[in-house]
């Protein structure tokens, strides 16, 4: 596995670092985008998006003809690595990272012309309509129906755990278009305008008090057939390609390292006796273990990019990345709460909450990380069958 940059990669890394130093406003570093920004932060965030767009880095991995920078997979990896190291807020969301590449790969010319420019300009935001109340890990069992009626589909059903649906302009969703076909072969991918009549978005507030997720009810929602991506009943395979893309991310590993170093900073600032003597060595050892795990997570990400560097396609390695990163994130948050002792139960708003209550918030928020984007159980099955060659149970 190659660890060192080539000469060209090193020069590009320096270019990205210089850009960040010259353009990233300090008041949006490590900002929680799930929370409402104050006016100054919102202005700074728009300035940051504008600087990226002017450089062609709003969608850096997209081909230049579609408004991207045409970065290679290695350049994109370096770009993401440096952005994560600087704790720069991500821009573009699911439009840039998920549905944009799918439209580029599977969409027709009309769909590309309609949607891609609005993504790179930041005009339109997207959400993902996959999970349903009875279809999470076994996503292929989804029941939302899309019945063809001339030049439209009539969609009925429900989606749940939809990140950012309350802010999104469009949704890319999977719906069953052939109920008689084997479950993987009767699904289509549709692009749905969130202002469509009959589409009702309801909030789901997490235990951390954040409005991140939503549930949507579709009642005779009409979606033009021209908004279908790819062939009818082939949406499962398009969606599967999208999930593989979602699971390969260096930012998670670097975020783990930042979180552990935050714990080190907090530990150094604790008053004598804040951690009971009998717990000190245990907490110290746990912090070291978390730092080791953050390093391992980074190496797993490096393995994924090394496969891509050699022209391969990560498969079970992407599941390893997601599995290890999400579970390590939970352990980091739990270690932080233990480090704070009784103060670990205080949330934002309490004058005694350490680090603004962010550690407690992280502890609550990471509980869902081993469920979202593929559960740990599903990822272990992928590793077992595709990586180790074990039989399916």
* Cβ atoms of residues 339 and 287 within 8 Å: yes
Alpha carbon 277 to its chain centroid, in Å, reads 39
Q: What percent of the chain has pLDDT over 90?
A: 59
Cα dihedral sign, 55-59-64-69: positive
Q: What is the pTM of this model?
A: 0.85
Q: What are phi and psi for residue 214, nearest 5 degrees? A: -150, 165
pLDDT, one tens digit per residue, over 124-143 is: 999 999 999 998 878 889 99
Residue 348's pLDDT is what?
Answer: 77
Q: Could you give the angle at the alpha carbon of 260 between the alpha carbons of 259 and 262, nearest 5°?
A: 65
Measured distance CA(82)–CA(181) in Å, rounded: 46
Half-sphere exposure of 94 (CA within 13 A, CB side): 20
CB atoms near residue 281 (< 10 Å): 10
* Cβ atoms of residues 173 and 130 within 8 Å: yes
- Lookup result for tokens 């992280």: 362
Mean pLDDT by 10 residues, the chain (393 residues): 84 97 93 82 93 91 92 91 94 92 94 95 93 87 96 98 95 96 94 98 89 96 98 90 62 91 83 63 87 94 86 83 93 90 81 80 88 86 91 80
Residue 106's pLDDT is what?
Answer: 94
pLDDT, one tens digit per residue, over 170-215 is: 999 999 999 999 989 999 999 999 999 999 999 999 887 889 899 9
* Cβ atoms of residues 124 and 94 within 8 Å: no
Residue 18's pLDDT is what?
Answer: 97
Which class is 247-387 in CATH? mainly alpha
Residue 163, classed as helix, strand or coil, is coil
Half-sphere exposure of 146 (CA within 13 A, CB side): 26
Pick from 153, 223, 224, 146: nearest CA to 187? 146
- The boundaries of every CATH 1.20.140.10 domain in the chain are 247-387
- The boundaries of every CATH 2.40.110.10 domain in the chain are 126-233
* Cβ atoms of residues 134 and 143 within 8 Å: yes
Measured distance CA(130)–CA(139) in Å, rounded: 7
Residue 388, classed as helix, strand or coil, is coil
In the CATH scheme, what architecture does the domain 126-233 have? Beta Barrel (2.40)
């Amino acid at each position: 596995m190659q660890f060192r940059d080539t000469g060209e990669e090193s020069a590009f890394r320096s270019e990205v670092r210089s850009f960040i130093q010259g353009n990233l406003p300090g008041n949006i570093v490590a900002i929680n985008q799930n929370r409402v920004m104050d006016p100054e932060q919102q202005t700074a965030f728009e300035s940051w998006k504008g600087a990226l767009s002017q450089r062609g880095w709003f969608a850096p991995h997209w081909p230049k003809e579609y408004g991207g920078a045409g970065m290679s997979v290695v350049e994109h990896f370096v770009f993401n690595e440096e952005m994560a190291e600087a704790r720069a807020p991500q821009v573009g969301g699911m439009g840039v990272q998920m549905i944009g590449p799918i439209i580029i790969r599977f969409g027709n010319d009309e769909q590309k012309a309609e949607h891609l420019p609005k993504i790179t300009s930041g005009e339109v935001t997207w959400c993902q309509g996959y999970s349903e109340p009875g279809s999470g890990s076994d996503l292929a069992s989804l029941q939302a129906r899309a019945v063809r009626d001339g030049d439209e589909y009539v969609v009925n059903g429900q989606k749940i755990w939809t990140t950012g649906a309350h802010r999104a302009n469009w949704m890319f969703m999977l719906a069953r278009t052939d109920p008689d076909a084997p479950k993987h072969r009767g699904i289509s991918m549709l692009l749905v305008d969130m202002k469509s009549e009959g589409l009702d978005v309801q909030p789901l507030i997490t235990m951390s008090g954040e409005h991140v997720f939503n549930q949507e009810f579709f009642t005779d929602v009409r979606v033009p057939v021209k908004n279908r991506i790819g062939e009818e009943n082939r949406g499962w395979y398009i969606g599967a390609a999208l999930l593989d893309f979602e699971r390969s991310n260096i930012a998670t590993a670097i975020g783990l390292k930042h979180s552990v170093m935050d714990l080190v900073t907090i530990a150094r600032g604790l008053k004598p006796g804040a951690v009971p003597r009998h717990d000190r060595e245990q907490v110290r050892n746990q912090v070291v273990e978390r730092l080791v795990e953050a390093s391992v997570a980074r190496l797993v990400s490096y393995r994924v990019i090394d496969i891509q560097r050699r022209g391969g396609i990560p498969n079970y390695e992407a599941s390893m990345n997601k599995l290890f990163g999400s579970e390590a994130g939970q352990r980091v948050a739990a270690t932080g709460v233990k480090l704070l002792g009784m103060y670990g139960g205080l949330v934002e708003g309490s004058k005694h909450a350490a680090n603004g209550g962010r550690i407690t918030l992280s502890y609550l928020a990471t509980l869902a990380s081993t469920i979202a984007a593929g559960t740990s159980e599903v990822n272990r099955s992928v590793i077992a069958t595709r990586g180790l060659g074990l039989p399916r149970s």
